[in-house]
Amino acid sequence: MNKVSREPRPFLDFIGTVWAMRRAKIGVVITGLICVTAAVGPHLAPFTATEFVDMPNSLHISGALFGTDYMGQDVWSRFLMGGGSILFLGAVSTAIGVLGGAMLGVVAAYVKGSLNSIIMRTFDIVIAFPGILWALLLLSMMGTSNWLIILAIVISTVPRVGRIIYGAAVAVVEKDFVSAATAIGESRMRIVFREVLPNVTSTLLVETNLRFTYSIGGIASLAFLGFTSDPTGANWGTMVQENSSAIILQPWGTILPVFAIALLTIGTGLIGDAFSRVSAGIDRGRND
């Protein structure tokens, strides 16, 4: 089998190659646009998120280009304010999930025997049941604070990241330089951090991006189902749910947030695709 030997690509090299790809550029632009909207939006909003502007579900209101939502609030203002919590929760839950999953995956790759089995089997069991159902159960039973929402996403993220990183780390662990390090007598932790982690970087990047995309989608979906920590605040996911019954009267309340979520996930998806192509290119000694 033709397989070019895998050498760890310097990190900057990797990023540079990714950036050279057009789809990465497009992805960054789109994602950046949405992030900026979410960050700056609240300061540009003409009304507050809960202010009463005019009769609910109305169009053609002076001062409110996109009309009012189900409670007479300004759609445009709520749209501008609706991205922040999704992005924040998405980022935090991805960070925790990827970190946790990566660590567990690496640990499982390095230790043999029963600990490995326990970790991997637990991963398999969690994955064997749809993530959204775990989230539903958890949030229905325990409430919907921000930390619980994050936990729900983390539960889905950790085993999936763990599995992928485990696969990548196993290949590395079997390599000589790790055994060499063990022979020299380096402590286990240092081996893990020094030798194994850098070699799974590209995989990690791909996974992080992928998980971020799913986290956004997951949090928005949970908001759509009604699981949000702030029922009155503006949130793209809840906006879709609140306003979708009145689509025939007032489509913007649904279209704007849907569009934003779509763009965001597409943007991060493009970046992730670039990551994975470069990473695969490394694997096969090619540059796509």
Partner 1 sequence: MEQQDNLISEISRRNFVRGAGILAVGVGAAGLSPLQALAAPMAPKKGGTLRVGVVGGTDDIIDAQYLFKMADVIRLNIGWEGLMNFDEKFKPSTVNGLAESVEVKSLTEYVIKMKKGVEFHNGKTMDMDDVIYSWQRMVDPALPGTKAMAAYLNAGGLKKIDANTFKMTLLQPNADWLTTFAQYACTIVPVGYTRTGPQVGTGPYKLKSFTPGVESTHVRHANYWDSGKPYLDAVRVINFSSTDALVNALLAGQVDAAVGVPAALVPAVKKDKKLKVIETSAGKIAPIVLPIDEAPFNDVRVRKALRMMIDRKKIIKQALSGHGTVANDDFSPIDSNYNANGYKEPKQDLAGGLALLKAAGYSKSNPLKFTLWTGSDNYPEVAKAFAEQINSGSGGVAKIEVGVPSDYWDTKYMAKGVGAYTTYWNPKPYLVQAGQMLDVYDETHLAPKGANSPYRKWFEQAVAEPDAAKRRELIKKMQAYHNENGGYIIPFFLNVIDAHSTKVQGIVQRPASLNLDTLGMHFKNVWMA
Partner 2 sequence: MRILKFVLRRLAFGLGALIAISAAIFLVTQGLPADPAKTILGRDATPESLAALRSVLHLDRSLFSQYWEWLTNVARGNFGTSFTTQMPISSYLGERFSNSLFLMIVSSAISIPFALLLGGYMALRRDSLFDSAGSFTSLVFAAMPEFVMGTGLIVVFATTVFHWFPAVVYLEEDASAWSDPKGVILPIATLVMGCIPYVSRTMRASMIEVLESDYIEMARLKGVSERKVLLRHAFPNALGPVFQVSALNIAYVVGGAVIVERLFNFPGVGSALTEAIRSRDLPVIQFLSLLIGSVYVITNLVADVATVLVTPRLRTTLP
Q: How far is CA 202 from CA 71, 115, 197, 210, in A?
A: 47, 26, 10, 12
Question: What x-and-dash track marks residues 41-60 binding partner 2 by CB under 8 A?
Answer: --------------------
- Told to check if 254 binds partner 2 by CB under 8 A, we report yes
Q: Which residue in the set 12, 60, 133, 176 belongs to the binding site for partner 2 (CB under 8 A)?
A: 133
| Tokens linked to 173 | 């662990």
Q: How far is the CB of 101 from partner 1 (least distance, A)?
A: 29
What gap in Å lies between CA 205 and CA 210, rounded to an integer? 9
Nearer to partner 2, 46 or 130 (CB): 130
- Nearer Cβ to partner 2, position 68 or 215? 215
Alpha helices for the chain (secondary structure H): 11-20, 22-44, 75-81, 84-110, 114-127, 131-142, 146-173, 176-184, 188-191, 197-199, 201-224, 236-243, 252-284
- 12 versus 141: smaller Cβ distance to partner 1: 141
Residue 76 amino acid letter? W
Q: Which does 48 bind (CB under 5 to 8 A by kind): partner 2, partner 1, none?
A: partner 1
Q: In the set 72, 82, 159, 218, which binds partner 2 (CB under 8 A)? A: 218
Q: Is 194 helix (H, G, I), strand (E, B) or coil?
A: helix
Contacted by 137, from partner 1, partner 2, none: CB < 5 to 8 Å by type: partner 2
In the block, residue with structure tokens 């990241």: 161
Interface residues with partner 1 (CB under 8 A) are 48, 50-52, 55-57, 70-72, 140, 143-144, 226, 231-232, 244-246, 248-249
Q: Is 269 near partner 2 (CB under 8 A)?
A: yes
- CA neighbor of 38 nearest in space, from 78, 77, 81: 81
Near partner 2 by CB under 8 A: residue from 39, 137, 171, 189: 137
Bridge partners (DSSP) listed for residue 64: 61
CA-closest candidate to residue 9, choices 212, 272, 270, 204: 204
Helix 146-173 to helix 114-127 angle, to the nearest 10 degrees? 130
For partner 2 (CB under 8 A), the number of binding residues is 43
CB of 263 to partner 2, least distance (A): 9
272 phi/psi in degrees, rounded to 5: -65, -35
**Per-residue contact flags (x/-) with partner 2 for residues 222 to 241, judged by CB under 8 A:** --xx-----------x--x-
Cα 155 to Cα 2: distance, rounded to the nearest angstrom: 37
Q: Cβ closer to partner 2: 201 or 221?
A: 221
Given 144, 217, 227, 242, the residue binding partner 2 (CB under 8 A):
217
Binding residues for partner 2 (CB under 8 A): 1-2, 23, 124-125, 128-133, 136-138, 140-142, 213, 216-218, 220-221, 224-225, 237, 240, 244, 247-248, 251, 254-255, 258, 261-262, 265-266, 268-270, 273, 280
